[in-house]
Structure 1
Amino acid sequence: MEQMTLENIAKACGGTYVGDDAQRGSEITGAVIDSRQVEPGYLYIPIRGERVDGHRFIPDVFEKGALAVLSEEPLENPAGPYIQVASSEQALKDIAEFYRSTLSIKIIGITGSVGKTSTKEMISAVLSQKYNVLKTEGNFNNEIGLPLTILRIRREHEVAVVEMGISEFGEMHRIAKVAKPDICVMTNIGQCHLENLIDRDGVLRAKSEIFDFLKTDGHIVLNGNDDKLITVQEVKGVKPVFYYVEDGTAKKADLPYEITADAIENKGLRGLNANLHFPEEVCQIHEPIPGVHNVYNACAAACVGRIMGLTNEEICQGIAHAKTIAGRTNLITLGEVLVIDDCYNANPVSMKASLDVLAQADGRKIAVLGDMGELGENEREMHYDVGKYAANTGADILFCCGTLSEELAKGAQRGHTKVMYFADREKLTQTLINFVEAGDTVLVKASHFMEFPKIVKALEEALEA
């Protein structure tokens, strides 16, 4: 990692270098917070968690060949040099910010209430047609994950696509300061994290902090279907590029659209076809990922692709090769049962989108839904509304779990859907395993804290046995 010497790192994070002066000029080869990921030449950054203090693993990482470590306290007889800092978490951001300043790579930052990960995957698939792309892995999109993603960039990478998630005011400002994106993409403004952000106007203000560190020659890509985003006219002299999907849900505004899409042909769980309108031509695209909402991701990716110099043909090829990841509309075939693993996170908009995907299935449609977090004072009403939606979209059976999901169950009972409510996830899981049969399609979705991936894993173990 060029210029990432221990001396420069200490200066970047305001730390005090302790160790052999001869090693001050040594460059690290990587930086991690997980001691299990340490390799020779790495910098280990110990984080104090609720359950585990990373400082306890400092002796272990030196045995693995770590070049140096950070520490919030003096170390007695360490096996190598260390940099003492006031806060490892803040130092992580400072170090990543310094590293970002040494890079010429283009960074695309993606935020929004819904669809950040799927849009990141689509943009990465498109840009990979021309560039060596690094992208956010897993849920590394917050004040710890974003800096770690930046620190994964290497000389061979030509562009980085990073997801930027927040839950409070000021958080986006702090991670944007690290990423300094060249292109800012915003998917939509929905009802997420309302405990802290109050309403959609608050969400827009908080998400818009991504523009605080936009490069002077940067670009902004926005969803022209979103009534809040179309109010963004200009930022630091940069006029946004808008995309629009003719889906019957929003009136087309008088905006300079770069990309529009129409003639959507839903192929159910096999994906969809649509017409993508470029300024020069109209191309038919195929998306292998189910869900009409994924057309928005394709439009966003097309806008970014054009900014990055891809041809229209390269853009369409990238869209056709897009894939899902675990927990994001990931289709898992288990014998004659199809599981839609969409349980990474949830809010009212994404819940309804996933139920729309389930509605395309053949056979019995089983929705396994759990609580949605951080929705604010109207959380019970929002859960009730999702329950009604589940019944109206044709879910045959609803399994639900969680305190708030009692309201979800009540909403679903207004229709013809059979509802089974459980206070305990393990009881739900066992009942579900005994209930499913050949030909069923099972959607599993809830907010991350509900730990619904354990339900998916249990289904895999039971149905593959």
Structure 2
Amino acid sequence: MKHMTLREIAQACKGAYFGSEEAMGKEVSGVVIDSRKVEKDSLFVAIRGARVDGHTFIPKTIEDGALCALSEEDLGDVSYPYIRVESCTQALKDLAEHYRKSLDIKVVGISGSVGKTSTKEMIASVLEQKFNVLKTEGNFNNEIGVPLTIFRIREEHEVAVLEMGISGFGEMTRLAKMARPDICVFTNIGCAHLEQLGSRDGILKAKTEMIAYMNPDGSILLNGDDDKLASYLPENGIKPVRFGLHTENDFHAEQIENQGLRGTDARFVTPESAFSAHISIPGNHMVYNALAGIAVGYALGMTDEQIKAGIEALVPLAGRNNLIETGKFTVIDDCYNANPVSMKSSIDVLEKADTRTVAVLGDMFELGDNEKAMHFDVGVHAAKSGVDVLICIGALSEEMAKGARETNAEMEIHHYADKDTFFEEMDRVLEDGDTILVKASHGMAFAQIVERLQKN
């Protein structure tokens, strides 16, 4: 990471430094919270977790090369420097905010109910055609993951693409205070986290907290086809730029041609030009992602040729509409997470297959009081979509099966209480040549189903 001394770190996180005067001038090489990832001269932040207390690993991290530790405890008379703080979690965020302010880099912040990760991947793929880009890895999009991503920024990076996920009010404010985005991208306002946020209006309010800490000369990019975002006007007076399929958007798509599971061809219209490109990942949502990438590219001065190359360079991630050919099945691995909107979108992708189609769907979490009705509604959508076989796994997914049965009595529908029960029946239910969608909330651990299908 860029130069940051122990003296500077102690001041940034309002901590008390214990150690030699000489060590105060030394610079850390990086910041870690996982003792297994300690490298020479790194700063170890001792986070207290539900099952593990990072303080127990402090001596070992020093042995492994850490320069210093952040601790909430008085470590006594030790031979290494440490900084005592009231809260290591808050200190991590304070330090990330301080580090971000020292960086001369453009930051793209991405939020929304559905599609944050796939949008992040598309935007990063576009920007990589011109810039040295750092992007959020994995699910590092919360109040621990965002600061750790910020600490990964090096002097050679020109743009950081940060995914920012929340589940309650105030979280986005804390994330934006660290990230200080130059460009804010909002994908959509759906139904995720209704338990905490109450309504879609609540979700809109919570997501758009990002704007309070953005660059006052920056850009706000919105999905103009989303009913909540279409009419949204930020309080800071920045005029939003909108993208979507409808022609009234600043960036829109036309001549959209679905190529089945092999992706989509489309012509993209910008305020200044138009060009065609192929998106290798299937689904209409990927057209929206491409439009977001185009809008960000334009905001950062890229050419159509560079943007087109970035769109066409994108490849899928494991667990996110990743197409896997096993020799026996074609598997659409979309099991990383799920909510009603993304479930329906993935079912629509499955429908494009030219084989027998099987949807293996599981429970969706954090949907609030209407969770059963939302699962029922996904079952109705699956029954109307033309999918040949619906397999529902989990307690809530029993409502999904019920919705499908009431909609299409002739559809082949199965419900299993858990994955193990499904595994017992899998060989009987599935057929060679099937195209199989696997999707559920992350907590259902449906990656195990993908692995089993690959072995078969």
- TM bracket, shorter-chain basis: over 0.9
User: Residues 182 and 219 of structure 2 are in contact (CA less than 8 Å); yes or no, is this contact kept in structure 1?
Assistant: yes
How far has the Cα of 1:358 moved from its partner? 0.8
Q: Which residue, out of 438, 454, 462, partners 2:448?
A: 454
Matched, 1:443 2:443: no
How far has the Cα of 1:381 moved from its partner? 0.5
| Matched positions, count | 454
2:254 alignment partner in structure 1: 262
How far has the Cα of 1:438 moved from its partner? 2.2
2:382 alignment partner in structure 1: 390
Match runs of 1:423-442 below 5 Å = 423-432=417-426, 435-442=429-436
- Could you tell me how far apart the structure 2 residues matched to 1:325 and 1:191 are? 24
2:357 alignment partner in structure 1: 365
1:249 alignment partner in structure 2: none
User: Residues 2 and 154 of structure 2 are in contact (CA less than 8 Å); yes or no, is this contact kept in structure 1?
Assistant: no
- Could you tell me how far apart the structure 2 residues matched to 1:131 and 1:74 are? 44
How far has the Cα of 1:393 moved from its partner? 1.1
Over the matched positions of the two proteins, sequence identity in percent amounts to: 56
2:141 alignment partner in structure 1: 141
- Could you tell me how far apart the structure 2 residues matched to 1:434 and 1:102 are? 60
What amino acid is aligned across from residue 130 of structure 1 in structure 2? Answer: K
1:355 alignment partner in structure 2: 347
What do residues 259-293 of structure 1 show as CA deviations (whole Å, max 9, x unaligned)? 11111100011000111012232211110111112
How far has the Cα of 1:103 moved from its partner? 0.2
How far has the Cα of 1:126 moved from its partner? 0.4
What do residues 188-231 of structure 1 show as CA deviations (whole Å, max 9, x unaligned)? 11111000111111110001101010111111000110111122
What amino acid is aligned across from residue 321 of structure 2 in structure 1? Answer: T
Match runs of 1:309-388 below 5 Å = 309-388=301-380
1:48 alignment partner in structure 2: 48
What do residues 145-179 of structure 1 show as CA deviations (whole Å, max 9, x unaligned)? 11111111011111000000000000000100000
- Could you tell me how far apart the structure 1 residues matched to 2:426 and 2:136 are? 33
How far has the Cα of 1:362 moved from its partner? 2.5
CA RMSD of aligned residues (A): 1.4
What do residues 13-53 of structure 1 show as CA deviations (whole Å, max 9, x unaligned)? 11111112211111111111111111111111122111111
Greater Cα offset, 144-153 or 414-423:
414-423
1:230 alignment partner in structure 2: 230
Matched, 1:110 2:110: yes
What amino acid is aligned across from residue 421 of structure 2 in structure 1? Answer: K
How far has the Cα of 1:440 moved from its partner? 1.1
User: Residues 211 and 234 of structure 2 are in contact (CA less than 8 Å); yes or no, is this contact kept in structure 1?
Assistant: no
Greater Cα offset, 429-438 or 304-313:
429-438
- Could you tell me how far apart the structure 2 residues matched to 1:12 and 1:118 are? 34
- Could you tell me how far apart the structure 1 residues matched to 2:18 and 2:424 are? 54
What do residues 343-377 of structure 1 show as CA deviations (whole Å, max 9, x unaligned)? 11111000000001111112221111111111111
How far has the Cα of 1:458 moved from its partner? 2.7
What do residues 231-273 of structure 1 show as CA deviations (whole Å, max 9, x unaligned)? 2234423111111214xxxxx66xxx33111111000110001
- Could you tell me how far apart the structure 1 residues matched to 2:424 and 2:4 are? 51
User: Residues 39 and 65 of structure 2 are in contact (CA less than 8 Å); yes or no, is this contact kept in structure 1?
Assistant: yes
How far has the Cα of 1:316 moved from its partner? 1.0
What amino acid is aligned across from residue 186 of structure 2 in structure 1? Answer: M
- Could you tell me how far apart the structure 2 residues matched to 1:396 and 1:76 are? 66
- Could you tell me how far apart the structure 2 residues matched to 1:447 and 1:348 are? 10
- Could you tell me how far apart the structure 1 residues matched to 2:319 and 2:36 are? 24
Give the SS at the match of 1:283.
strand
2:391 alignment partner in structure 1: 399
User: Which residues of structure 2 form unaligned runs of 5+?
Assistant: none
- Could you tell me how far apart the structure 2 residues matched to 1:130 and 1:268 are? 30
- Could you tell me how far apart the structure 1 residues matched to 2:190 and 2:181 are? 22
User: Residues 3 and 102 of structure 1 are in contact (CA less than 8 Å); yes or no, is this contact kept in structure 2?
Assistant: no
Matched, 1:7 2:21: no
What amino acid is aligned across from residue 439 of structure 1 in structure 2? Answer: G
User: Residues 362 and 439 of structure 1 are in contact (CA less than 8 Å); yes or no, is this contact kept in structure 2?
Assistant: no
Match runs of 1:153-168 below 5 Å = 153-168=153-168
**TM-score, normalised by the number of residues in structure 1:** 0.95
Distance of aligned partners of 1:30 and 1:205 in 2 relative to their CA distance in 1, 3 Å threshold: same
- Could you tell me how far apart the structure 1 residues matched to 2:356 and 2:93 are? 48
How far has the Cα of 1:441 moved from its partner? 1.3
Distance of aligned partners of 1:428 and 1:46 in 2 relative to their CA distance in 1, 3 Å threshold: farther
User: Residues 182 and 219 of structure 1 are in contact (CA less than 8 Å); yes or no, is this contact kept in structure 2?
Assistant: yes
1:31 alignment partner in structure 2: 31
User: Residues 271 and 287 of structure 1 are in contact (CA less than 8 Å); yes or no, is this contact kept in structure 2?
Assistant: yes
Greater Cα offset, 134-143 or 9-18:
9-18
Give the SS at the match of 2:129.
coil
Give the SS at the match of 1:413.
helix
Give the SS at the match of 1:293.
helix
